[in-house]
Structure 1
Amino acid sequence: MRVNGLKLLRETLGDKAIGYKNNGGYELFFKNKEASYNTCLEKLNTISTFLYPVFNIEVFSEVDNKFGFKNIQPKLIFNKAEAQLDTGKMMQSLMQKACSAAILILNNSTITGFEDVKNSVKILLDQMEFTTKKLFIATNGFASQLGIAQVKPARNQVLVTKLIENLKIKGTFHLDEGYTYFRNIDNRILLGGGRNLDLSGEQTAVFGTTSQIQNYLENMLSETILPTIPFEIEHRWSGILGVGNQKKPIIKELSNNVYCGVRLGGMGIAMGSLVGQELAKLLDSQG
């Protein structure tokens, strides 16, 4: 779904409109994770063979640490199929496309509930209500607040540096079994993760940051990612993922007029377009 979803997104908006860059992705392993590191290296050929029919390339390879990272295993695992995009540009392009189709977007409106009646759905907001023929729930991380119990919120904290002169780091990077992610945004580093330090505390739909996780992220910048490069933090924020007991999204009819496309498990950018398309097909199939 990630491959097909990203393909659909690129076809819908175009690479320029979403700032798409195929710089590849890298898996890093801390020095104290030697067992996991060796296991992954042993499985590289098997996984690449498995993925070859999808990408028609050898996806994974071992590469040297050319970025100056510290306190990690000597080799990085390179994924040549991974890319990055500008989510701000993507959202702007999606909103422009929606507006050009005369679709109304209501911002800063909290939905507190809904009522599915015979031929319509009443949408309840904090300050008003309105009716619609059909309702698609695609709020993902907030789906549990609308009665979809299979989806749990998972807050991910993020920070981004100020501009760093002559930054050599290009691409997307994963650490700590995928719980930590960083990438360049031009000449800045965006770093997010650390949820595994407090899984119960971060199972929340409330935006915010904590000193425990923000300090962890800053230490990772100074000790591992940018050990010899001075940096300053410009912004800190959080986002809410929608996760569950499996990675497959929930795309289904909840009642006569209500449908959902949720539980994207941190892969919403890649899968979102396809989930939306599948939702539309599901509605069409109902006549």
Structure 2
Amino acid sequence: MEFSQKNTPHSPSYSFWEYDIWFRDLDLLVVGGGITGCLTAYFYKQRFPLAKVLVVDKDPLPRGATLRNAGFLCFGSVSEYLDDAANHSSDYAAALMKDRFEGLQILKTLFETKDIGLKIDGGYEVFMPSETEVFEKCLYGLREVNQIFGNNNVFKATLDPELKLGLPKRHKVIENELEANIHSGKLVREIHKLLQASGIGVLHGISICKMENIHDGVVLDSSYGSFKTREVVVATNAFTRDLLPELNVYPNRGQIVVTSPLPHFKRAGNFHYDAGYFYLRHLEDGSVLLGGGRNLDRESEQTSDLSVSPVIQNALEKILREVFLVDEDFSIAHRWSGVMAFGSENEKAPLVGTLGNIHYIVRMGGMGVAMAPITAKRFVDSL
């Protein structure tokens, strides 16, 4: 028989070795090598041990939010809960908080604390003197929020912020004893080890250009050639509309600055400000990380562009000077941005669904480290 492109079972650009190990008889292809995609692949392999699973990502390293976040293991603040309840409903806000918390517990069962740099140092929501009314509303809402966690006193007012945290006396604080943080790079490194130990393939530098449902699977065109799989999971979060433009998923940039090391600044824990739109933590080398501010320029920050902007960068430096590093002399050593995903009306709940043999697990609402484990596990458990 003469050679014909349509008679070949796979793209002729593949060698036998490439095709045999990575692309032959694929059961599941996960598009997106971030936390959500990798944990979906892991839970799938745990449930279906004989399945052949492959994860592909377009970049050398995950570049959306997984490695460009602030390394917070948080599940929300009181003011964020009240904001979500006002914009959606109390049930919606409570479900988000509870799911995030459960997701963090799953993460803790998968990895050793030291391996991912996990520290449970607590979280602190800071209120300026001009926010007295907001602070009082949060105090009133403490009981409602604590009911989510079985009436345990998870959130409470800090009696002496100056003595406990070194903050100016005029600041008010609500603390959360269960909040933690991690080293995002160490987490990704351990996730990759987990996938390798589970027999899951991971290939970087492959962009998926097109997906087509067929009766027994999905045919994909990629930057590396065409291939077929039985099922696909799209876990590309902020970049989802590149493949599934009909979904209610929109990118939102989160910008970050890190100071040079500050020997005298040793405040453990995570600090939140302005309904969670600003967030700060102390890093191991003595530097201070501050991120956020997308609420100051929502239109410009609804982008997948990974550059930084003067508007947000200047605002971050101002917050450092006026709220967290008052009277401290500091300089900025690092600036970067990551991209989160929300709905068109700032929806934060994950979007999970199926289109034929193509599934999607997207829109982590700015807290993918917490939401990814529980969302991925629930999806796989539902199969």
Normalising by structure 2, we get a TM-score of 0.68
Matches for 1:119-268 after TM superposition, within 5 Å: 119-147=216-244, 148-186=246-284, 187-244=286-343, 245=345, 246-253=347-354, 255-268=355-368
Mark the runs of 5 or more structure 1 residues left unpaired by the alignment. none
Question: Any conservation in 2 of the 1:157–1:239 contact (CA below 8 Å)?
Answer: yes
**Number of paired residues?**
278
Deviations 1:219-276 (A, max 9, x none): 21122211222222221111111112433212221x2211111111011101211211
Higher radius of gyration, 1 or 2:
2
RMSD: 1.9
| Aligned residue in 2 for 1:62 | 157
1:112/1:31 Cα in 2 relative to 1: closer, same or farther (>3 Å)?
A: farther
Question: Any conservation in 2 of the 1:251–1:278 contact (CA below 8 Å)?
Answer: no
Which stretch of structure 1 is more off in the superposition, 190-199 or 27-36? 27-36
Question: Any conservation in 1 of the 2:166–2:267 contact (CA below 8 Å)?
Answer: no
| Aligned residue in 1 for 2:86 | none
Matches for 1:35-74 after TM superposition, within 5 Å: 35-48=133-146, 50-53=147-150, 57-63=152-158, 64-66=160-162, 67-70=165-168, 74=171
2:215 to 118, 124, 136: 118
Q: CA deviation at 1:123?
A: 2.6
Deviations 1:106-148 (A, max 9, x none): 2233333322222222233345333222111111111122225
Q: Does 1:107 align with 2:204?
A: yes
Q: CA deviation at 1:73?
A: 5.0
Q: Which amino acid aligns with 1:132?
A: T
Q: CA deviation at 1:4?
A: 1.6
Give the whole-Å Cα distance in 2 for the aligned partners of 1:75 and 1:223. 14
1:163/1:129 Cα in 2 relative to 1: closer, same or farther (>3 Å)?
A: farther
Question: Any conservation in 2 of the 1:68–1:225 contact (CA below 8 Å)?
Answer: no
Normalising by structure 1, we get a TM-score of 0.90
| Aligned residue in 1 for 2:21 | none
Q: Which amino acid aligns with 1:251?
A: V
| Aligned residue in 2 for 1:5 | 103
Give the whole-Å Cα distance in 2 for the aligned partners of 1:109 and 1:32. 50
Give the whole-Å Cα distance in 2 for the aligned partners of 1:218 and 1:109. 37
**Percent of matched pairs sharing the same residue:** 34
Q: Secondary structure at the match of 1:3?
A: helix
Deviations 1:29-66 (A, max 9, x none): 23322221221122223332x1341xx63111111223
Give the whole-Å Cα distance in 1 for the aligned partners of 2:201 and 2:257. 32
Q: CA deviation at 1:11?
A: 0.6
1:166/1:274 Cα in 2 relative to 1: closer, same or farther (>3 Å)?
A: same
Give the whole-Å Cα distance in 2 for the aligned partners of 1:137 and 1:123. 12
Question: Any conservation in 1 of the 2:128–2:172 contact (CA below 8 Å)?
Answer: no
Question: Any conservation in 2 of the 1:26–1:172 contact (CA below 8 Å)?
Answer: yes
Q: Which amino acid aligns with 1:278?
A: R
Question: Any conservation in 2 of the 1:51–1:59 contact (CA below 8 Å)?
Answer: no
